[in-house]
């Protein structure tokens, strides 16, 4: 079967000593960063992006992917032990995980989080492998109209995840699209919005924007809130699950896995939405819903499986269609482009060892994480005691050095400071930066497809509505918009975000 | 006519300004027609949409239902210290070399923390510079100017 041949190729690539090393490094760093509250996978990828420049593209992607799902593992550790979510998708784990820790069952919680994530990771890898080829072949039937509508659908989907007002989220998307216009226009060769600054000829640097909006801005916000770190004073005993707990949590793991695998593929989906949904589902389907929030092991098993499954299946749209479904994958898309790989359906045929190598490395990475993390949990926890006042200058320094190495000029560093200022303003005005980054990445592609579509149809805009696939995407986008605007769903959405 | 939602009001103004700027600067490039879009077409349309959205935001913030939003509170100290330390680093990296710029960066931005102590910050800076030199410059071969440029008269 062709699938087996492809997986064999992927295995060869993923298990090469170099890639194995980078997988390990990525997974460990991801866990480390996930453990530290306040720094999530997005910031980590932004900070570590320059370190991947000297690596071959396959290794770079393997490492960055490792960081993403490693951060999922790490985030649950702090949620359970210290009741502070390591990153956004681990928020739900705090609810029951910390209660379990208070009852002396922290070890069981950590173990089920790790095992559930591993099972989910295996399943999601299979999903990725199975869906890859058919989806890419479907994508070849896509014309510029379909791509444009798909991107519209993707951008609208990202609004679903924005916890603030929808109007502002749409505005941020458009602002991101506009910022993506800065630089040389591919079709005409003219420099747009560069204002005579030579460093802007290639557009606003993606790394600068990401680091400024997410990294620097986060640091400033934490300083304002006068962050300190709580130190764990409890000793960890016993990492084993009782048989009863294992039986209880198995269905929760399966449900969480399915939930996460599905939601990860959808635009706007991803780890955060999946973990929330899985928790709600678990609570509703339980015979004792009032036990949730008081240390029910299913309340840990389901969201942890869901967020790991979603982290991996969210690679499907990027690797097959070339459309990142959420902001972390937008960072991956940026990384691919920096390494000279244009994300899209051609990746699977032109760089098969990259494609299958990344997929198989995800499974390998999950294995590494489950084998290494449980014993190492004590070390991770000790890192929680590094005071914030010593940590954030380190982050800032690493960011600046990384930024300089991108283009060997200091303009990029200054640009990042400006983006940090923008990010601060956005935060104060309760505008989410995630839709902006998505718009920024998709902007040039959207313009190109819009232009080509109109050129091919000789100025007839109805082409976006008459071609069936394109119409389908636009209808789905419209449905999403309408759904979000309905008062019932609006309230539910606000509640879901209030719980976090 | 009171501004009931100050944050939305400011957001609307911001969108309006960005949108108007987008529209204004797009006119410098050929706009073209729908069939043959010039470089100015898409940015112009985007700017127009953004500006309209801004107006809607402003109107909603003034005419909307009673809200609980307060004017955003700005704390200038952390913002100014962190941003100026980054900008200073950018300006001084080439002339003064990595270690000096790094010390300045670390110490200046550490001042933004309410738990700042001079000895700690300087020690932190020393440790970090060591880590950077070993991990980034030596192992990962980052091309960062380590030595200051003025002794040899280079730029």
What percent of chain A has a predicted confidence (pLDDT) above 70? 89
d(CA B46, CA B65) in angstroms, rounded, equals: 29
Closest residue in A to B128 (Cα) is: A394
> Is pLDDT of B10 > 60?
yes
Q: Is B58 contained in some domain?
A: yes
CB contact (8 A) between residue B90 and residue A400: yes
The reported pLDDT for the residue numbered A1 is: 61
B81 with B126, same domain: the answer is: yes
> Is pLDDT of A238 > 70?
no
pTM score of the predicted model = 0.78
CB contact (8 A) between residue B42 and residue A447: yes
> Is pLDDT of A490 > 60?
no
The model's pLDDT over B93-130, given as tens digits with 9 standing for 90+, comes to: 888 888 888 888 888 888 887 777 888 888 888 888 88
The reported pLDDT for the residue numbered A83 is: 73
CB contact (8 A) between residue B90 and residue A417: yes
Token digits of residue A491:
């309230």
Q: Of A161-165, A247-251, B49-53, which gets the smallest average pLDDT?
A: A161-165
The reported pLDDT for the residue numbered A179 is: 92
The reported pLDDT for the residue numbered B1 is: 59
Ranges of beta strands (E only) in A16-62 are none
> Is pLDDT of A496 > 90?
no
Using 50, 70 and 90 to split pLDDT, how confident is the model at A175?
A: very high
Question: Which of B9, B16, B39, B55 is most worth mutating to test chain A (most A CB atoms within 10 A of its CB)?
Answer: B39
B124 with B96, same domain: the answer is: yes
CB contact (8 A) between residue B90 and residue A431: no
Q: Is B86 contained in some domain?
A: yes
**Which residue in the set A224, A393, A421 is minimally distant from B75, CB to CB?**
A224
The reported pLDDT for the residue numbered A500 is: 37
What integer is the mean pLDDT of B26-35?
81
d(CA A426, CA A166) in angstroms, rounded, equals: 15
**Which residue in the set A188, A228, A393 is minimally distant from B38, CB to CB?**
A188
CB contact (8 A) between residue B86 and residue A454: no
B58 with B92, same domain: the answer is: no
Q: Is B148 contained in some domain?
A: no
B89 with B128, same domain: the answer is: yes
Burial (CB count within 10 angstroms: exposed 0-12, middle 13-18, buried 19+), residue A283:
buried
B80 with B126, same domain: the answer is: yes
The reported pLDDT for the residue numbered A87 is: 65
B89 with B129, same domain: the answer is: yes
- Give me the residue label for tokens 């999946």: A274
CB contact (8 A) between residue A393 and residue B89: no
Using 50, 70 and 90 to split pLDDT, how confident is the model at A499?
A: very low
> Is pLDDT of A470 > 70?
yes
B102 with B49, same domain: the answer is: no
- Give me the residue label for tokens 């014993």: A375
Q: What ipTM was estimated for this complex?
A: 0.87
A255-259, B51-55, B140-144 — most confident range: B51-55
Minimum distance, in Å, between the CA of residue B152 and any CA atom of chain A: 20
CB contact (8 A) between residue A428 and residue B72: yes
> Is pLDDT of A494 > 70?
no
Minimum distance, in Å, between the CA of residue A28 and any CA atom of chain B: 16
The reported pLDDT for the residue numbered A385 is: 67
Q: Are B137 and A51 in contact (CB under 8 A)?
A: no
What integer is the mean pLDDT of A229-236?
51
Q: Is B101 contained in some domain?
A: yes
Q: Is B68 contained in some domain?
A: no
> Is pLDDT of A86 > 80?
no
> Is pLDDT of A232 > 70?
no
CB contact (8 A) between residue B83 and residue A421: yes
Q: Which of B63, B94, B112 is the last residue of a domain?
A: B63
Closest residue in B to A50 (Cα) is: B142
Q: What is the 3-state secondary structure (H, E, C) of A385-439?
A: CCCHHHHHHHHHHHHHHHHHHHHCCCHHHHHHHHHHHHHHHHHHCCCCCHHHHHH
Q: Is B145 contained in some domain?
A: no
B84 with B59, same domain: the answer is: no
What integer is the mean pLDDT of B32-60?
87
Half-sphere exposure of A138 (CA within 13 A, CB side): 16
Token digits of residue A425:
């303003």
CB contact (8 A) between residue A397 and residue B124: no
CB contact (8 A) between residue A394 and residue B46: no
B89 with B42, same domain: the answer is: no
d(CA A409, CA A327) in angstroms, rounded, equals: 27
d(CA A401, CA B81) in angstroms, rounded, equals: 18
**Which residue in the set A54, A190, A461 is minimally distant from B140, CB to CB?**
A54
Higher-scoring residue by pLDDT: A398, A386 = A398
Closest residue in B to A407 (Cα) is: B143
The reported pLDDT for the residue numbered A324 is: 85
Closest residue in B to A400 (Cα) is: B86
A95-99, A101-105, A413-417 — most confident range: A413-417
**Which residue in the set B29, B93, B110 is minimally distant from A192, CB to CB?**
B29
> Is pLDDT of A185 > 50?
yes
Q: How many domains does chain B have?
A: 2
> Is pLDDT of A91 > 70?
yes
Using 50, 70 and 90 to split pLDDT, how confident is the model at B16?
A: very high
Q: Which of B21, B39, B63 is the last residue of a domain?
A: B63
What percent of chain A has a predicted confidence (pLDDT) above 90? 4
B131 with B91, same domain: the answer is: yes
Question: Which of A393, A421, A428 is most worth mutating to test chain B (most B CB atoms within 10 A of its CB)?
Answer: A393
> Is pLDDT of B154 > 50?
no
CB contact (8 A) between residue B34 and residue A459: yes
Question: Which of B31, B43, B88, B99 is most worth mutating to test chain A (most A CB atoms within 10 A of its CB)?
Answer: B43
The model's pLDDT over A25-41, given as tens digits with 9 standing for 90+, comes to: 888 888 877 777 666 77
Q: Which residues of A touch B109 (CB under 8 A)?
A: 392-393, 396
Q: Of A476-480, B35-39, B150-154, which gets the smallest average pLDDT?
A: B150-154
Using 50, 70 and 90 to split pLDDT, how confident is the model at A422?
A: very high
The reported pLDDT for the residue numbered A421 is: 92
**Which residue in the set A420, A429, A450 is minimally distant from B7, CB to CB?**
A429
The reported pLDDT for the residue numbered B140 is: 64
What integer is the mean pLDDT of A5-23?
84
Higher-scoring residue by pLDDT: A332, B150 = A332
d(CA B133, CA A104) in angstroms, rounded, equals: 44
How many A/B residue pairs have CB atoms within 8 Å?
Answer: 179
Torsion A408-A52-A113-A319 (CA) sign: positive
The reported pLDDT for the residue numbered A177 is: 93
B21 with B56, same domain: the answer is: yes
CB contact (8 A) between residue A171 and residue B15: yes
CB contact (8 A) between residue A394 and residue B128: yes
d(CA A261, CA A356) in angstroms, rounded, equals: 18
The reported pLDDT for the residue numbered A222 is: 77
B82 with B133, same domain: the answer is: yes
Higher-scoring residue by pLDDT: A261, A270 = A261
**Which residue in the set A174, A397, A454 is minimally distant from B50, CB to CB?**
A174
* pLDDT, mean over chain B: 83
Q: Which residues of A touch B131 (CB under 8 A)?
A: 394
Q: Is B50 contained in some domain?
A: yes
Higher-scoring residue by pLDDT: A205, B69 = A205
Closest residue in A to B35 (Cα) is: A459
Closest residue in B to A187 (Cα) is: B39
The reported pLDDT for the residue numbered A269 is: 62
The reported pLDDT for the residue numbered A402 is: 75
**Which residue in the set B78, B124, B132 is minimally distant from A401, CB to CB?**
B132
The model's pLDDT over A338-357, given as tens digits with 9 standing for 90+, comes to: 888 888 888 887 888 888 88
Q: Is B150 contained in some domain?
A: no
**Residue A430, C-beta contacts closer than 8 angstroms, at least 6 positions apart:** A164, A165, A168, B7, B11
> Is pLDDT of A434 > 80?
no
**Residue A121, C-beta contacts closer than 8 angstroms, at least 6 positions apart:** A69, A308, A309, A312, A362, A363, A365, A366
> Is pLDDT of A493 > 70?
no
Q: What share of chain A is helix, strand, coil (3-state, %, to 5)?
A: 75, 0, 25
What integer is the mean pLDDT of A403-424?
86
Domain of B131, in residue numbers? 76-139
Burial (CB count within 10 angstroms: exposed 0-12, middle 13-18, buried 19+), residue A72:
buried
Q: Which of B19, B41, B63 is the last residue of a domain?
A: B63
* pLDDT, mean over chain A: 80
d(CA A290, CA A99) in angstroms, rounded, equals: 14
């Amino acid at each position: 079967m062709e699938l087996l041949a492809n997986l064999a190729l992927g295995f060869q690539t993923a298990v090469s000593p170099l890639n194995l090393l980078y997988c390990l490094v990525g997974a460990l760093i991801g866990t480390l960063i996930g453990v530290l509250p306040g720094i999530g996978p997005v910031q980590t990828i932004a900070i570590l992006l320059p370190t991947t420049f000297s690596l071959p593209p396959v290794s770079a992607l393997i490492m960055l992917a490792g960081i993403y799902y490693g951060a999922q593992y790490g985030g649950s550790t702090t949620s359970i032990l210290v009741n502070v979510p390591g990153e956004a998708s681990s928020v739900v784990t705090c609810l029951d995980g910390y209660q379990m820790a208070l009852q002396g069952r922290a070890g069981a919680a950590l173990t089920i989080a790790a095992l559930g994530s591993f099972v989910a990771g295996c399943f999601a890898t299979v999903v990725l492998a199975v869906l890859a080829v058919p989806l890419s072949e479907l994508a070849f039937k896509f014309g510029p109209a379909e791509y444009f509508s798909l991107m519209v659908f993707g951008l609208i989907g990202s609004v679903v995840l924005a916890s603030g007002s929808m109007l502002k989220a749409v505005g941020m998307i458009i602002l991101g699209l506009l910022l993506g216009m800065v630089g040389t226009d591919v079709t005409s060769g003219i420099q747009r919005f560069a204002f005579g600054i030579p460093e802007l000829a290639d557009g606003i640097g993606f790394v600068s924007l990401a680091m400024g909006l997410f990294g620097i801005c986060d640091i400033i916000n934490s300083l304002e809130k006068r962050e300190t770190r709580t130190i764990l004073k409890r000793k960890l005993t016993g990492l084993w699950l009782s048989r009863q707990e294992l039986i209880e949590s198995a269905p929760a793991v399966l449900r969480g896995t399915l939930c996460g695998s599905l939601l990860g593929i959808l635009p706007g989906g991803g780890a955060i939405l999946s973990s929330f949904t899985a928790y709600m589902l678990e609570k509703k389907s339980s015979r004792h819903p009032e036990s949730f929030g008081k240390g029910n092991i299913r309340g840990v098993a389901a969201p942890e499986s869901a967020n790991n499954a979603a982290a991996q299946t969210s690679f499907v749209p990027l690797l097959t269609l070339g459309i990142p479904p959420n902001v972390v994958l937008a960072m991956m898309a940026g990384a691919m482009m920096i390494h000279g790989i244009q994300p899209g359906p051609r990746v699977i045929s032109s760089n098969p060892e990259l494609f299958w190598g990344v997929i198989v490395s995800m499974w390998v990475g999950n294995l590494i994480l489950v084998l290494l993390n449980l014993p190492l949990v004590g070390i991770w926890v000790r890192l929680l005691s590094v005071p914030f006042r010593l940590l954030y200058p380190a982050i800032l320094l690493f960011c600046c050095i990384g930024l300089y190495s991108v283009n060997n000029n200091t303009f990029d560093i200054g640009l990042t400071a400006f983006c940090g200022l923008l990010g601060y303003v956005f935060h104060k005005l309760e505008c989410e930066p995630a839709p902006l980054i998505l718009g920024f990445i998709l902007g040039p592609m959207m313009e190109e497809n819009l232009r080509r579509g109109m050129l091919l149809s000789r100025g007839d805009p109805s082409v976006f509505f008459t071609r069936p696939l394109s119409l389908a995407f636009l209808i789905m986008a419209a449905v999403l918009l309408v759904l979000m605007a309905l008062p019932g769903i609006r309230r539910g959405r606000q509640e879901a975000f209030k719980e976090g | 006519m009171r501004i009931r939602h100050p944050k939305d009001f400011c957001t609307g103004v911001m969108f309006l300004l960005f949108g108007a700027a987008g529209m204004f600067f797009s006119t410098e490039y050929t706009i073209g027609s729908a069939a043959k879009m010039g470089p100015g077409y898409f940015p112009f349309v985007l700017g127009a949409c953004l500006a309209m959205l801004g107006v809607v935001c402003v109107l909603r913030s003034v005419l909307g239902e009673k809200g609980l939003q307060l004017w955003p509170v700005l704390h200038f100290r952390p913002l100014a210290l962190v941003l100026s330390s980054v900008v200073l680093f950018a300006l001084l990296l080439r002339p003064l070399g990595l270690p000096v710029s790094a010390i300045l960066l670390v110490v200046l931005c550490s001042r933004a923390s309410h738990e700042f102590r001079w000895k700690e910050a300087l020690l932190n800076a020393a440790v970090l510079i060591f880590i950077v030199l070993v991990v980034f410059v030596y192992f990962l071969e980052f091309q960062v100017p380590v030595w200051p440029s003025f002794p040899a008269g280079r730029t």
